[in-house]
Amino acid sequence: MKMIIAIIQPHRLEAVKQSLTEVEVFRLTVSDVQGYGRQKGHTEYFRGQPMQVNLIRKVRLDIAVNDNFVQPTINGIIKGARSGEGGKGQVGDGKIFVLPLENVIRISDGTLGGEAI
Amino acid sequence: MHSSLRSLRARLTWPLLTLFAFSLLALLAAPAHAATPPVSSAPIPEPNPGDTAWMLISSALVMLMVPGLALFYGGMVRQKNVLGTMMHSMVALAVLGVEWVVLGYAMSFGTDHAGLIGWDPGKLLLWNVMPQQLHEGGRITEYVFMVFQGMFAIITPALIAGAFAERVKFSAYLLFVLIWGIVVYNPVAHWIWGGGWLAPATAGDTAFHLGAMDFAGGIVVHVTAGVSALVAALYLGKRIGYPTHVLKPNSLVLTLLGAGLLWFGWFGFNGGSAIASNSNAGLAFSTTQIAAASGALAWMVAEWLKHGRPTSLGLASGLVAGLATITPCAGYVSPAAAMFIGAFAGVLCFQAVLFKSRLGYDDSLDAFGVHGIGGFVGAVLLGVFARKAYNTEGVDGVLAGNTPQLYIQLIAALSVALYAAVATLIITFVVDKLVGFRAQKSVEIEGLDPAVHGEQGWMLGDLPEPSIGLPGDESIEWEPMPETPHRQTAKARV
């Protein structure tokens, strides 16, 4: 089992959800996060005065998957999250982290392991 | 028994003290010679119903500008200060609302003394003013005039709050606006609108009168507030973190709505300043609409050209700049002049705000850059564009061949600016020495809302109440859970 954490552009969330549905990944936790990477923030204006905003809004996905779903999930996220013309991808599109996952427990009935995912 | 008595007494102490303070105020305000108002058997002259209706509505419109200002300013500050900033506007309704009736009206519109101040003990707390009593001219009652003017006395100090937003003590602010209203607003309102030394001479009056015009308060409201804002901002210093850190506005949605409400209320501010429901009110209403539109357009386009983006804050600031600038001119100039004045204000105030960052002082929400500059420029442009053809009770400006009026306007605006600056410096100093004006650093960093008011403006993203529905909570009668596998349970609830 793996834990897949992805940081994506907020406006790509719908596309990612769609491409994950295509590969039959139906479990997903979404949260609103802020951060920065290679983009190093952007400039906003307050009454004409530039403000360097370096924390940018992103969306974080937490997906727990069984091993046979790891690659399809990664492919699905990449497909949906690449922005720009024709989905070529550009700086700021985010990252995917794959972590080992020790166990999964379903709270309502106590089911353990891969079946609980 | 004793303890319940004691707790009752403790509970009543503050309400009673407050009541006592107000009664004392009322007694103090009661002039020694106060007598029952004379009852006359002669028919009482009635005010004009149309004028009365318009002035009452105008008063309510101006009152609406205060929550408008609260939203306008409140949206621009950081999330932790949104309530504190909105309170600065709203509490002015309370503080100056009381001050105006007790003292302000008598000082501004009481009998003139040496052109400097009004004073009429009979007007203190409106003690000798009866509801039927007519205002001079006889078209509205004195109460209607008093309440309309009172709204101006309320919003003017509230404007200053933008200069030191996010960093002052609440108690110091209350003291500041109260003293400022008495020492700056009341005299200046008297100088220009109450027949003081800046006002035009009335027939048979031999005292010195400069003859300055100010239709709805470019000088009385915007110059006084704007200049005082600058002085207070300079005295109090920058916010912690300005300008090195990003101080992000919590919601420009509020700011845009607030600007919209200000625009709406300004029809009463300017339109009502005709003090009648007549053609002059119609002119003031029209020029207000025109200048707000051209001001908004000018600022937005100027910013678009300079930074490549038309911002909502730019649009909001531009319309307020246009409105502040047309205020003194509203009932005296042509629509074309109004359009020029608004656009000029939009571009000029945008430049003034940009210039601020180079000067390095921290007028948080640009009370000076928008109101000070706008009001001053408007008061001076009145001397250029005013035409008697548009208002027979008005004046001619430079373009109508009356150059001296420009100098009169300039002198009036400059003297008021100077007076407001000196008086505000002293008031700020006194308040600072009395209670300390700046909030403690820890309070400023934590935020005014939690640290001063013990409240929170926005709760978005908060967790649900953690103490409701805990296991064993007997206040809740749970429905029996259906005995089904969990997937169906979820469906059954839908």
Which residues on adjacent β-strands are paired with residue A31? A60
pLDDT tens digits in sequence order for chain B, 494 residues long: 466 667 776 777 777 778 878 777 766 655 555 555 555 667 778 999 999 999 999 999 999 999 999 999 999 999 999 999 999 999 999 999 999 999 999 999 999 999 999 999 999 999 999 999 999 989 999 999 999 999 999 999 999 999 999 999 999 999 999 999 999 999 999 999 999 999 998 877 888 999 999 999 999 999 999 999 999 999 999 999 998 888 889 999 999 999 999 999 999 999 999 999 999 999 999 999 999 999 999 999 999 999 999 999 999 999 999 999 999 999 999 999 999 999 999 999 999 999 988 888 999 999 999 999 999 999 999 999 999 999 999 999 999 999 999 999 999 999 999 999 999 999 999 999 999 999 999 999 999 999 999 999 988 766 666 667 777 777 777 777 776 655 554 444 43
User: B309 to chain A: which residues are within 8 Å by CB?
Assistant: 45
User: Between B311, B366, B485, which is nearest A45 by CB?
Assistant: B311
Task: Please answer yes or no on whether B357 and A49 come within 8 Å at the CB atom.
Answer: yes
Which residues on adjacent β-strands are paired with residue B168? B438
Task: Give the per-residue pLDDT at B461.
Answer: 67
Specify whether the CB–CB gap between B374 and B226 falls below 8 A: yes
| Chain B contact present for A45, CB below 8 A | yes
For the beta sheet containing A2-8, the strands, ordered from the edge strand earlier in sequence to the opposite edge, are: A29-35, A56-65, A2-8, A94-100
Give SS3 for B270: helix
Tell me which residues of chain A, numbers 60 to 89, contact chain B at a CB-CB cutoff of 8 Å: none
Q: How many domains does chain B have?
A: 1
Structural domain includes residue B328: yes
Task: Give the per-residue pLDDT at B39.
Answer: 59
Specify whether the CB–CB gap between A80 and A89 falls below 8 A: no
Give SS3 for B65: helix
Give SS3 for B42: coil
Task: Give the per-residue pLDDT at B483.
Answer: 67
Structural domain includes residue B36: no
Give SS3 for B130: coil
Task: Give the per-residue pLDDT at B36.
Answer: 56
Task: Please answer yes or no on whether B486 and A108 come within 8 Å at the CB atom.
Answer: yes
Long-range own/partner contacts, residues B438-447 (CB < 8 A, 24 or more apart): B438/B167, B438/B168, B438/B169, B438/B236, B438/B237, B439/B167, B439/B168, B439/B169, B441/B240, B444/B166, B444/B167, B444/B239, B444/B240, B445/B240, B446/B80, B447/B78, B447/B79, B447/B80, B447/B81, B447/B84
Task: Give the per-residue pLDDT at B492.
Answer: 44
Task: Please answer yes or no on whether A46 and B313 come within 8 Å at the CB atom.
Answer: yes
Specify whether the CB–CB gap between B366 and B353 falls below 8 A: yes
Query: What does the alpha-carbon distance between residue A61 and residue B451 come to, in Å, rounded to a whole number?
Result: 35
Task: Please answer yes or no on whether B314 and A48 come within 8 Å at the CB atom.
Answer: yes
- The whole-number average pLDDT for the span A27-34 is 93
Instruction: Give the closest-approach CA distance of B253 to chain A in angstroms.
Output: 14
**Chain B, nearest residue to A33 by Cα:** B461
Task: Give the per-residue pLDDT at B491.
Answer: 46
Task: Give the per-residue pLDDT at B437.
Answer: 97
User: B247 to chain A: which residues are within 8 Å by CB?
Assistant: 46, 51
Helix, strand, coil tally for chain B in percent (to 5): 65, 0, 35
Under 8 Å CB pairs connecting chains A and B tally to 36
Structural domain includes residue B396: yes
Percent of chain A's residues with pLDDT above 90: 65
**Chain B, nearest residue to A46 by Cα:** B313
Query: What does the alpha-carbon distance between residue B85 and residue B83 come to, in Å, rounded to a whole number?
Result: 5
Q: Which one, of B363, B372, B292, B304, lies nearest residue B330 by Cα? A: B292
**Cis check: omega of the bond before B243, within 30 degrees of 0:** yes
Task: List, in order of start, the domains of chain A with CATH numbers.
Answer: 2-38+50-116 (3.30.70.120)
| Chain B contact present for A91, CB below 8 A | no
**Chain A, nearest residue to B316 by Cα:** A47
Instruction: Give the closest-approach CA distance of A45 to chain B in angstroms.
Output: 8
Q: Which residues of B151-185 are buried (b: 16+ CB within 10 A; e: fewer)?
A: bbbbbbbbbbbbbbbbbbbbebbbbbbbbbbbbbb
User: B311 to chain A: which residues are within 8 Å by CB?
Assistant: 45
Task: Please answer yes or no on whether A49 and B353 come within 8 Å at the CB atom.
Answer: yes
DSSP class per residue in B91-125: HHHHHHHHHIIIIIHHHHHS-EETTTEE--GGGGG
Structural domain includes residue B419: yes
Quote the strand ranges of A10-55, DSSP E.
29-35, 42-46, 49-53
Structural domain includes residue B478: no
The phi and psi torsions of A51 (rounded to 5 degrees) equal -125, 130
Tell me which residues of chain A, numbers 46 to 65, contact chain B at a CB-CB cutoff of 8 Å: 46-53
Q: What is the CATH number of the domain that holds B297?
A: 1.10.3430.10
User: Between B313, B485, B486, which is nearest A47 by CB?
Assistant: B313
Residue B282's domain spans which residues?
Answer: 49-453
| Chain B contact present for A100, CB below 8 A | no
Q: Quick check: pTM over 0.90? A: no
User: Between A48, A52, A53, which is nearest B307 by CB?
Assistant: A48
Task: Give the per-residue pLDDT at A88.
Answer: 84
Task: Please answer yes or no on whether A48 and B350 come within 8 Å at the CB atom.
Answer: yes
ipTM for the predicted complex comes to 0.70
Q: Helix (H) and strand (E) counts for chain A?
A: 2, 6
B376 burial type by CB count under 10 A (0-12 exposed, 13-18 middle, 19+ buried): buried
Contacts of B186 (CB under 8 A, 6+ apart): B103, B104, B107, B108, B117, B118, B153
| Chain B contact present for A109, CB below 8 A | yes
Task: Please answer yes or no on whether B350 and A108 come within 8 Å at the CB atom.
Answer: no
**Position B298, amino acid:** A
**Chain B, nearest residue to A51 by Cα:** B246
Q: Which one, of B350, B373, B355, B353, lies nearest residue B364 by Cα? A: B353
User: A46 to chain B: which residues are within 8 Å by CB?
Assistant: 247-249, 313
Instruction: Give the closest-approach CA distance of A11 to chain B in angstroms.
Output: 20
Task: Please answer yes or no on whether B317 and A109 come within 8 Å at the CB atom.
Answer: no
Task: Please answer yes or no on whether A48 and B246 come within 8 Å at the CB atom.
Answer: no
Structural domain includes residue B343: yes
**pLDDT for residue A105 is more than 90:** yes
Q: Which one, of B309, B276, B271, B313, lies nearest residue B290 by Cα? A: B271
Task: Please answer yes or no on whether B366 and A47 come within 8 Å at the CB atom.
Answer: yes
Instruction: Give the closest-approach CA distance of A30 to chain B in angstroms.
Output: 14
Top pLDDT among B17 and A112 is at: A112
User: B248 to chain A: which residues are within 8 Å by CB?
Assistant: 44, 46, 51, 53
Task: Please answer yes or no on whether A51 and B309 come within 8 Å at the CB atom.
Answer: no
Instruction: Give the closest-approach CA distance of A16 to chain B in angstroms.
Output: 24
Task: Give the per-residue pLDDT at B493.
Answer: 44
User: Between B249, B350, B486, which is nearest A46 by CB?
Assistant: B249
Structural domain includes residue B321: yes
Give SS3 for A47: coil
Q: Which among A27, A30, A47 is the top mutation candidate for probing chain B, defined by the most B β-carbons within 10 Å of its own β-carbon?
A: A47
Structural domain includes residue B5: no
